[in-house]
Structure 1
Amino acid sequence: MVEPQNRDPGPDISRSLARKVRLSTVALFFERLWPRLWLLIGVALVFVMLSFLGIWPYLDPHPHKILLVAFAAAAVAAVVYAVRVPWPTREDAIRRIERRSGVPHRPATSYEDTLTSGAQNATTSAIWQAHRERLARAISRLRVGHPAPRTDRFDPWAVRGLLLVMFVPIAVLATGSLSDRLAAAFRFGTAESGPPARVDAWVTPPPYTALPPVLLADGSQQNADDAKDRIKFFEVPDRSLLTLRGVGFGADGVALEVLTDGATAPVIVPPEKSKKGDTSSVSETRYEIRKSARVRALSGTRELGLWTFDVIPDALPKIALTKEITGTPRGSMRVFYKAEDDYGLQSAEVKVRKAPPKPVDATKSWAQPPPLTGPRLPLERPPVLSLKIPRPGAKTVDTSALLDIGEHPWAGQRVQLWLEATDVGGQVGRSEPIEIVLPSRRFKNPLARALVEQRRYLAEDSRNRPKVVRALDALTMEPQGFITDDGVYLGLRAIYHRLDRQETRSAMNESIAELWQIALKVEDGALSQAERALKDAQDRLSDAIEKGDDKEIQDAMADLKKRLNDYLNEMQKNAEKENPSGDQQQGDQNQELGQQDLDQMMKDLEKSAREGSRDDAEKMLSELRELMDRLQASNSPEARAQQQRAQQMMKKLNELSDLTGKQQQLMDDTYGQQRRQEGQGGSQDDPNGQGSPKTGKGKQGQQGQGRQQGGQGDMDADQEGGGQQGQGQQGSQGNSAGRQQHGKGSLQDRQAQLRNELDKLKKDLEEMGAGDPDKLGNAQDAMGRAEDALKQNDLAEAADQQGQALEQMRQSAQQMAEQMQKNAQQRLGRGGNSPRDPMGRPQRAQGPDLGTSVKVPDAIDAQRAREILEELRKRSGESLRPQDELEYIDRLLKRF
């Protein structure tokens, strides 16, 4: 019976019991700790609720500190009380298991008992083993169970539940930043008797952007702690000013914490210092935003706002030439340019610098002048030419400007030129530089050319002064014969003595300016003074238009009219002096066109200036300057010679037009005769007067037509024809009427006469170097073939050859007109461009009207014009109309 005494239920029961004891120990510890933790939780809930209610800013510093210390002491006591919880013993854990499981006879405790006596007795051992097995089965039914702290025994009034019920609505209804309300418990002395705390923040874009301010915080809404308010994102222009204003934040005020892109640490921007004697609680902080950044508004450690800014950079203005720069004989240049900027343009300029000299060929170095030596005065600054912006602040400008560069010493030299545009923000954009020769005024008088040459030497290098002094001395040594004006002589001598005695920059600049004025006087006489006065009047009117002063505009306009009349009178006097024979044709079309443009331009300019249309007025002023240059250039001997040649070409072109018209009429008569023959099944009347061998009518026809050429009518021819009168009238009644109206003689004779006239005109045009000899020759050959066909009574072939001759003549006339128009563009008004109708076709500016142009009335009633424009606008909005018609209406509206 020994074996039953040594039997053991196994280690599984021991391990299971040990695990349950450990879990019971932890559960029992939590049951003892939880009621003590509720004391700490209760203290924390009371502190948080008071903070959410916002009582801390309203407490005086002393009570504030006492209450805060009391909360701290209570929290420390609660922590100490909770920490002093005793750890449960094994027996306490086993007893908790037995109580929670409800198994009788305490099996866990009994299982740990040992047999002390009777172990050698088999019966006793068997009974003990059976007892152990029964306990093992009971232990397997034991359960640890969930912890049950029974806090109600420590809080019979359920104060903890009341705290939770109060905390939830307080936390939900609290406004603003909850963390800031909690942090307010540790800020002392912020409560003041003044207004409540308020935060205002806004971003002001730079004034030149014309953008409205951006409101960040208006004080009525405090920044919440939710995600939407914490990720506010704004796009602002560069150089925007962020302003943060706080009221009621005490001595700390408000500050900004700025973390820019690429920075490793934020930068604190402190508030501005208040003025002496300022006791207000207002604090302001300003920061200029130059980079994208995250910005926090702070008062001490309290966050008042958080914003993220993305900076929109201010792009550089763009400017470029749209066409090639063109010059005028008077030394002006037309600049076509386009500029644009994102916020607006302020000004534009043309800048130049001297082009680097080209390398000298070593084989030609012997021909180069010796280099200048010795000290040199500082060089003058290069010219800066202003380009007027039609509307300051405009974002896009596409226009042109006429600049007077002829007076500058650099005129006629090769330079590098570029355009610069300045936007409203002060940024400068540049175009690609180009290399050109600056336009210069062309002088005809030898003395004027010599003075301008010496002036250029003096402006290029001050070391040329001795050379210029010798040249002026030589020019004035014996003035008889080429210096007729005493003022010119005295002026040159004064410049000579000044340069000979003074070596200063001011003396040289005065001499350069006076040499130009003297050269103008030598070239134009009194016209140069009138021209200077006219330019000054134009500048005064331009300034008055820019200022917008009506009284000043009226005065400047009256002065401009007076100066313009003086200028035209002087120009007329010069023309009469240079051309005393009076060969100048007053009816010259170019001159008439310029005068008409001038009169109309002055009316339009006065109207635009009176109505305040600055853009139109500035444009007309520019056109007036250009027209003045062309009018004066047209009065030069070369221009008058060109005008006379143009008149001669116009005369020949008119003769060619007349020949074309006669050929057209002859072809019409030929077609008419051919139709009559076809209608009668063969004509009894020979149009050429040759007659038929059977009827013998040719002789009678020839006699009748011969008398027509001698001044007699068809009636005499018919009377001479005797009995054939009725027959002749029947076959040629309509043709006789045509001959009486359109020409004399037969169709063959008329064709021969036209061929002779064309031959003479062709020779005249060849002597002048105008026209197209090949086309005129082809036309002449076609006329000859038509004459032969008429002789053979082959009207169909004759008409075909006449059509070919007519086409060749029209082509030659059109080519000659285009050549004349191209040569005359510089003398035409309003820019010298050939006008075009709304369909894009060239209008007739020179040459004959060949029936292909559109005739437009010269004047139209104002009321009728308004009605037409209203109808055009109405039709342009009708999308169902054909596309070609809509495009035509659009071109009409743009033109008129």
Structure 2
Amino acid sequence: MTDNPRETATQAALHRLIWPMRLTLAGLWAERIARAFWPLWTLVIATLAVLSFGAQDTLPLEAVWAGAVLVVLGLVASLVYAFRNFRRPMRTEAMARLDASLPGRPISALTDTQAIGAADPASLAVWQAHLRRMAARAAAAKPIAPDLKLARRDPFALRYVALTALVIALMFGSIWRVASVAGMGPGGADAMAMGPTWEGWAQPPAHTGKPSLYLNDIKEGALTLPVGSRIQLRLYGEVGDLTVAETVSGSTQPEPASAPAQDFVVTRSGKISIEGQNGRTWEITALADAPPKVSATGDMAREADGQMKLPFSGQDDYGVTGGQAVIALDLPSVDRRFGLAADPEPREPVTLDLPLPISGNRADFNEVLIDDLSKHPFANLPVTITLSASDAAGQTGTTGPLNVVLPGKRFFDPLAAALIEMRRDLLWARGNAPETVMLLKAVTYKPEGLFRNERAYLRTRVILRRLEAEATTLAPEARDEMAEQLWEIALMVEEGDLASALEALRRAQDRLDEAIRNGASEDEIQQLMDEMRQALDNYMKELAEEAQRNPDQQQAENQQTMEMSSDQLQEMLDKLQQLMEEGKMAEAAELMEMMRQLMENMQVAQGQGQGQGEGSQAMRDLAETLRDQQGLSDDAFNDLQNRQPGQPGEGQPGEGQQGQQPGQGGQSLAERQQELRDRLNGLNGLPGEGSERGEAGRQ
């Protein structure tokens, strides 16, 4: 009576092992079949690959039969190898493998019986406790995965070679070619006599990127092909048993209908028919390649340094391959007064290449054309811009002319603006040289109130003497050389010594930015930081001296803005050094970009600070914008410091920013930055914009 509970518990424990044992047994079957039969299925797969490639259709009949004999011998040898090495797995083997995976082999223990002490209650209690522990261990049994590795048995990976060959054959051949082997056996000659075979291919133009089609795999009916697709047909058997009729090429001298090899190109919709036994007919729809489209997606914009920006989009069926923007003078829209009253000298339109995506889809994209035409004679004059795009088929699509004013650099200093206007008149027509001489004499008559830079004055006098001597016989090369010098003098007057200081600051910033991105050493970064601080100090010093030389040109609010920006830049430099010392190079690079944008806004504000009267309202708006940007930069830096390593950057959709100032309404930093850009671009009352308020600020 005491054995019944033990036997019941043992049977229950073994019953729970049924499914792990069955799965382990199935794994043993898979393992032994793979080890015994891998040569057989490798040979079968390799044979299918060769037949799918159509080797039997191109090789001599003797070679095909020799190959068939070798395949049969290989199959026999593979079967012999399989049956010699295959051993049917047993249930006990699966149970033993399952038992070996458990500590203490609990399954064997459950099937054992107590050898001695069966009548001793104490010994029996110990034995039953042992069985309970073994049953608990057996309950944790899991199926054992089969070992399907065949590297030792197949050191040359022949099974993978066969599989790869079959995949390639299915991609570039046809599995239906296997059926052609039947024609080589007994009665095959009769099968061949019943009807000849044929093959055909349709190859779309390369620029479409579409794959070739094997016409034998295409059923009768409708078939769409790009215009320019090449059709190749090969007719086998007796000449005349099969004929070809087509209306898609439009050829006036088609090949004979029964010619064994026929090639033609699809130029229009029509029909292709192979007439005869096993022939087919397709209704071809010729898909024409539409010309590309290009259009401007926004208004022409001007950067602070005078660069033009024109957003545009391009579309094409198979991708745009090139594009151009042609900029021509819109003479009827020019205000023909003063130096522009004379007939202009003919100039070729400006042709710019449109930027295309370096990677990605060129079938539908958006890009921005950016170029600097500040020095071109068309700058700040009405022009027409015609965009064009081309595709690989040689087709071109164009837009209607866009009537815009070509952006150029703005000069806020009255003398610099006057020199640029003289330069424009000189480039407009060489006949304006005498009037330009008179104007140069006027501005250099009493230089004390105009020229703050002695070198600019001396260079202006040199140009005056040269132009006066060559006014009536001015050559185009000499005119262009003097126009370049007038440009340099105007920059010198406009920016004064700020130009060299600003250039040094930009160089220092670029070098530091490059060092951060390329992982420079701490000593190198520290040296570049010192250079950056020194360049910033020099630049702010020049700004202060400029304000002292021209006190009337600085409004109190603009001066406050400059002081604020200087303090902000110094603070950002300190934060930048802290980030680099902490090894946060990604955050340091983002902060460098913020500093670059702030400096650009400072440059715009410094040049536009000369506005008075009605223009002062625009300056107050600009000062407020810069103050808002200071708060934005502080929030962005706090966001960088609080961001954990690997955390996504600011501006992820749907994410708010912690620590935002009251009243921001949950705006992200990216949204606030875009709002500042829009406000800065909307300051149309700044001097030099051409508006009445702006011109009033220049008076």
Normalising to structure 1: TM-score of the pair?
0.38
State the structure with more CA Rg: 1
